[in-house]
Chains A and B, each alone.
Chain A
Amino acid sequence: MASVAKIARRTFLIGAAAVAGGVAVGYWYVSRPYPNPLEGELAEGERTFNPYVKIAPDNMITVIAPRAEMGQGVSTTLAALVAEELDVELAAVRVEHGPASFAYYNAALLEEGGPFPFYDRSLMAETVRGALGGVSKVLGFQGTGGSSSTRDAFDRMRQAGAAARHVLVEAAARKLGVAASELSTANGAIEHKASGRRVTYGEVAAAAAAVDPPSTVRLKDKADWKLLGKPQPRVDMLAKVTGAPIFGIDVVLPDMLFGTVKMSPRFWAKPVKADLSKAEKMPGVVKIVPLETSYGHGFGIIAENTWAAFQAADAIEVEWDAAEYPADNAAISQALADALAAGEGSALRDDGDVDTAFADAPRERLVEASYEVPYLAHACMEPMNATARFSDGVLDVWSPNQMPTLTRYLCSEAVGIERDKVNVHTTHLGGGFGRRGEMDFSIYAALLAKEAGGRPVKVTWTREEDIRHDAYRPAAAGKFQARLGDDGLPEALEMRIASPSVIGSALRRMFPSISPLGPDRTITDGSHNQPYAIANYRVTGIAADIGVPVGFWRSVGNSYNGFFHECFMDEVATAGKIDPVELRRKLMASWPTAVKVADKAAAMAKWGEPLPAGRAKGFAFTLSFGGWVAEIVQVADTPAGIRIEKVWIAADVGTALDPGIIEAQLVSGAIFGLSAAIGQEITFSNGMVEQSNFHDFDAMRISQCPAFEIAILEKAERMGGVGEIGTPPAAPALANAVFALTGKRIRTLPLSKEVAFA
């Protein structure tokens, strides 16, 4: 077991990011609640009871779901947590994201930042979780990511609903002159059954706001849930089928200007020479503004409409400086290979004695392989954009973002004003996947607003800018070996994985003054913390700082570690002549939750039963973000190429708050992973990204989409996340199926470099 000092070093990276994020807040306030940010923005007669609930006299009940809605259904599920305890119908509640506020810190986002596997419940693991959660609270780290929103909100938002209900009942008891114990609640009203008298929440809201909130509340038993645990209609579905203006790109303000950006195609390179004269003279162009930020350099264009801005961006003639990083794919691959060969790295798993186990291994008992994956763009359907207005010393930013408090901080820094002069309005997100945890699009809008004479500016990127200026899923390379025992099972497994540090790269963009220190656990996340018992088992991550910006792409390190770990496990099974699912049953025997999802997926897919010629299945398992997920992919050989016919997913998330949304997320995550596996890569030439739009960076289309069969289990001890967990096992299950079909072991992504997909 690692020492506390080691853990402190390992957790430092995420800690440093967090410390920088909340510079103005002291640790001594760890137990102090934040003020309720709704106090300052109530409508006439409206009352608030805590940061999550507002009630108006007409009984309009507003619930704040302070996490970015990017399709994962979080606004519905978070609102249901409050509504369940408040005893109101979900349909009767208005759901808002609310303002950027420290009160909406996300403790669960940082809790798993330590080096411990999710299943480790030791005192040390729990202590570090508590400490990191506390860091998030102290720093007011409001963020949506890490599949953490419902885990974080589960107690807090139910308590908010229950506490509000308590004071409303108390106020009703005083008004009706009866004991609170004689009252019952339903559908936003309080009833005295004995007398038949009834008051709505709205009627007693003002009085209730003066009642002291209870120090503790009793939450409903799971058996009494009316909303939770059952599929709910999404609160945003009607808006989304009628084209309502809910996205960042839909923001319309009085007297609004439009804009775009043209940033250096070589990251952080500056313009050596620029000719703006042609662009400045184009019709509709208002102003061209040089941009210098920690995200990069370039130009912002302010215009009368978006099309004029796009055309002016095209017309700017610039010679950009050279790249300060390996400028093409061969050089990047070499940098990863060098790091693998020479880097010392950090072993977040080191069981038994791996060196001795391999020192005397007979050749015929060894399995060895090298793997590599490319950079990937997020390619959210809604291109990056934000709208900003800088007027009377106050900056308002309308931004589809995943990090409101950091967005507020970095926009205040960029414009040079105090943080309390910045209001961040978080809109719906047309896809996020981690891309919108970045601040570049918000900062650029803020900087252009500063030059717009008080008028708001909506700054929309072209798709080309979006693909070419991402914080990419990092490229990664791995070198693996296993030693098989007499029974065909691995006695020893060693994995060495080299990849740029996501957290180091994020620090450079967000807090350039902080030097990255210590290892980044995301490099081996999905390999070092899997529920496999192997006597000698070492997983080493080596940070290879290449210089291309890398960031948080749905499932982060798990996205490639799932591929590495589970394809290599399939190779071990093949070499040991053991069925891949049987191999898992044996190695995962100490973790019944894992075995159960493997068994469930196998049962649904009729694993092991003979298939017609030209069809095959592959299996993979990944525990990520607390979700235990087994996936089986079936492929078929067709004249047009390999067709992905069907995917079975069994996932244990501990407590399934909304099975309908969870099912959608599992399918979504798998399609995200399959999309990457069948064709996506970001490559470089002359320091520039070669891809630019959906013609050369596409994703799965409906004609390629397999059928899905999903099982959601609730046996796991702790509640897991949902939004990302479908992604990691998708690519390896597909690659393993392709191996079973063709005998071809493909160790690089995308698989389309070796086989064609129909």
Chain B
Amino acid sequence: MRLIIDGKSIEFEADPEMPLLWALRDLAGKTGPKFGCGIAACGACTVHIGGEAVRSCTLPVGQVEGEVTTIEGLAVDGKLHPVQQAWLDEQVAQCGYCQAGQIMSAAALLDVNPAPTDADIDEAMNGNLCRCGTYPRIRTAIKKAAALKTAGI
């Protein structure tokens, strides 16, 4: 099986029923996306497929169509994505385990909605659970990222 992951073609052997998450983590060497629940209830495994946020823990790898981007491929040429930069500036992460998923969901949100309201943020981010309670800083950081992105930074 061959997939384009973070801009590179990667080949591995997998049961097509294996969730994409485990193919990424155990077979393709991409440990950035995290295992949290296995039932698409926490968002820690969020990746982009064709630019859309997808829960990789329930998607069979055999059904993947399109290029996969993980948190490890979000920065381009060593420059952080505006969402990552805003997360750094606002010091969002605590334990950090859910943050790969949070950042991927936020990046997908900003792709379709360059200036999200609080309600937009709540709706787009509600599937991403954080046990450390970083939500207030996530809200601030998403708005900051929106501003960075609009300014082309």
Contact = CB atoms under 8 A, between A and B. Distances in A.
A19 to B, nearest CB: 32
A71 B95 contact: yes
B39 to A, nearest CB: 6
A671 B136 CA distance: 10
Nearest to A647: B136
A640 interface: no
Nearest to B141: A241
A591 interface: no
B94 A241 contact: no
A326 B41 CA distance: 31
Contacts of B128: 702
B27 A670 contact: no
A660 B133 CA distance: 15
A261 B137 CA distance: 36
Contact of B125 (A234, A250, A693, A702): A702
A283 B15 contact: yes
Contact of A241 (B19, B37, B44, B80): B80
Contact of A381 (B31, B97, B135): B97
Given A71-B132, A242-B71, A671-B132, 14 more contacts: A238-B88, A246-B96, A252-B31, A305-B27, A306-B22, A310-B38, A380-B95, A383-B36, A463-B39, A667-B133, A694-B37, A694-B41, A702-B130, A705-B133
Of all A-B residue pairs in the complex, the 9 with the closest CB atoms, nearest first, are: A243-B32, A671-B133, A430-B97, A71-B95, A240-B96, A71-B94, A243-B71, A703-B122, A705-B135
Nearest to A463: B37
Contact of A667 (B44, B72, B84, B136): B136
19 contacts: A71-B96, A240-B93, A246-B96, A247-B96, A306-B35, A307-B18, A380-B131, A381-B97, A381-B132, A430-B98, A660-B91, A667-B136, A668-B134, A672-B133, A693-B37, A694-B129, A700-B133, A700-B135, A702-B125
A234 B31 contact: no
Contacts of B130: 381, 702
B53 interface: no
A80 to B, nearest CB: 14
Interface in A655-679: 660, 664, 667-672, 675
A243 B132 contact: no
Contacts of A518: none
A246 to B, nearest CB: 8
B101 to A, nearest CB: 9
Nearest to B130: A381
Given A71-B132, A258-B26, A242 B84 contact: yes
B93 A307 contact: no
A27 interface: no
A237 B27 contact: no
B45 to A, nearest CB: 11
B contacts with A: majority SS: loop
Residue with the greatest number of chain B CB neighbours at <10 A, chosen from A242, A244, A249: A242
Interface in A684-711: 693-695, 698-703, 705, 707-708
A509 interface: no
Residue with the greatest number of chain A CB neighbours at <10 A, chosen from B95, B103, B132: B95
Nearest to A283: B15
A636 interface: no
B113 interface: no
Contacts of A258: 26
Contacts, number: 177
Nearest to A464: B38
Contacts of A702: 121-122, 125-126, 128, 130, 135, 138-139
A252 B29 CA distance: 9
A402 interface: no
Contacts of A693: 37-39, 41
B97 A431 contact: yes
Contacts of A236: 93, 96
Interface string B77-95: 0001000100110011111
A250 B95 contact: no
A233 B29 CA distance: 29
Contact of A243 (B26, B70, B136, B139): B70
A522 interface: no
Contacts of A71: 93-96, 132
A109 B9 CA distance: 50
A249 B93 contact: no
B75 interface: yes
Contact of B80 (A242, A429, A667): A242
B38 A462 contact: yes
A73 interface: yes
B115 to A, nearest CB: 18
Contacts of A699: 129, 131
A700 B128 CA distance: 10
Contacts of A234: 91, 93
Residue with the greatest number of chain A CB neighbours at <10 A, chosen from B19, B26, B134: B26
A458 to B, nearest CB: 9
Contacts of B131: 379-381, 431, 433, 672, 675, 699
Interface in A299-330: 305-308, 310
Residue with the greatest number of chain A CB neighbours at <10 A, chosen from B36, B98, B103: B36
A241 B95 contact: no
